[in-house]
Structure 1
Amino acid sequence: MDTSAHLNSVVEQTITFADWVHGKDASAPVPTCPKWTLADLVDHVGATQRMVTMLVGERMSEPSSAYARYVPAPTDSAQWRAWLTDGAAEAKQAFESVADDTPVWDPSGGSAGVPFWSRRLFGEASVHRADAAAALGMRYELAPEPAVAAIEDWLDTMTSRGYWENRPDFADAMRGGGQTLHFHATDAPGEWLARREPDRVVLERTHTKADVAVRGPAAELLLVLSRRRPLDAAPGLELHGDRALLDQWLEHMDWVTD
């Protein structure tokens, strides 16, 4: 998916998310983010989109100004739909005003800029819509190709140099001696090999034998890798190899819920 496709999906998924949460109980718990209420989830989704809109639209070279201009969600849930859909539309407009090579700060450590943020907003929309579905008893669906793109975002972000450097707890847990985890989507092209090295996690797009492998439908794989569904509750997935290695990996995939 390119930047335009990512943002089109962000708008579409945000509209669905907004329809789901509109007028709902702000204090409702979000089971997939145990410390959050529905109000926290809405606030995070909309405020993040607005922060990225500022970063991209104003071509910021560092993030402090965007962080300082945090825009909280309305306290009245009857206003959530308009607030969320307006924010997604503004984000799309901001990305349409720049090129992929426009210099914009991002935390990846790779100077990925505009493409990084378009992919991140797409990944955020995909995963947090699953949170809303869990909180409200809605059916979560994501087509195989977008689900593969969301997995790509999740794994790319978690294995980025910036994430490793900024999360020493994650780095300490993930240091290894070459242990490998293979993730394979079976309903759309998508395979990833994560190799734990002493100084980083190396991510490759390849099919090879690994210490542990998980394969199955992309949407189920996304929900398990993002800790939105326990592996034992994902019957469409097949596990081969070292379950303890996978469990340790999943235990530390807690970035969105922090």
Structure 2
Amino acid sequence: MYNFDFTRPSSIDEAASALQGEEAQALGGGQTLIPTMKQRLAAPATLVSLTGISEMQGVCLSDAGEVCVGGATPHAVVEAEAAAHFPALAALASRIGDPAVRNRGTVGGSLANNDPSACYPAAALGTGATIKTNTREIAADDFFEGMFTTALHDGEIITEVRFPVAEAANYQKFVQPASRFALVGVFVAKYASGVRVAVTGASEEGVFRWSEAEAALSANFSADAIAGLNLSGEGMISDLHGSGDYRAHLVKVMTGRAVAAA
């Protein structure tokens, strides 16, 4: 590691002000940033910890039927506090990493980092969530812009994420055993307006919606509805864990399992 300044503000305004400093970086749970710093792939002059901001912690249910999660809320808290309102979201949180990761990693940190194999981007896109920052609100469909890329501006903080509760939903994750990331993960959510299907871990462009499956499942919410559909392996991640064609096949398998479980 190397020398850097560390500050732990107690309010969103204080954090936003601290992030205006030169080479300042927001710190959630640090599950990605700290290892990156250790490898000298990132070198912020100041770390601005968001863990001391009480208004960015916890889970609640809004009058509009949304599960509202503070941006600095650890995954373990989502697992515990969202279970009564949105079991599929709580179950997703329960399978992220290991206990150490779940007790340190945060919802806002996961979405801001937008790792192509992370679980929360699938939950946000699969539910049509709203990502609230210290300056605006961003629809999930507009938030994810590619691998490790989002619509966030420099110094912008995810303060809350609002997940609309689905009539039926499920997340299926084919786990890469070493990292516990998703080799492929699929979040399926059924609403009165239709079905949303979000896929993580598969595409070189990061999380995406499988529109053909959404149309088929909106007409018939059954695993049989996607039996005739196939995804191309082109543009899918291909590495030592699996080829693009293999991941494309897994997307269909995980989608079918998610529908059946939902």
Q: Identify the TM-score tier after normalising by the shorter chain.
A: 0.3 to 0.5
Identify the structure with the greater strand proportion: 2
Question: How does the TM-score come out when normalised to structure 2?
Answer: 0.32
Question: How does the TM-score come out when normalised to structure 1?
Answer: 0.32
* Higher RCO (C-alpha 8 Å, min separation 6): 1
Identify the structure with the greater helix proportion: 1
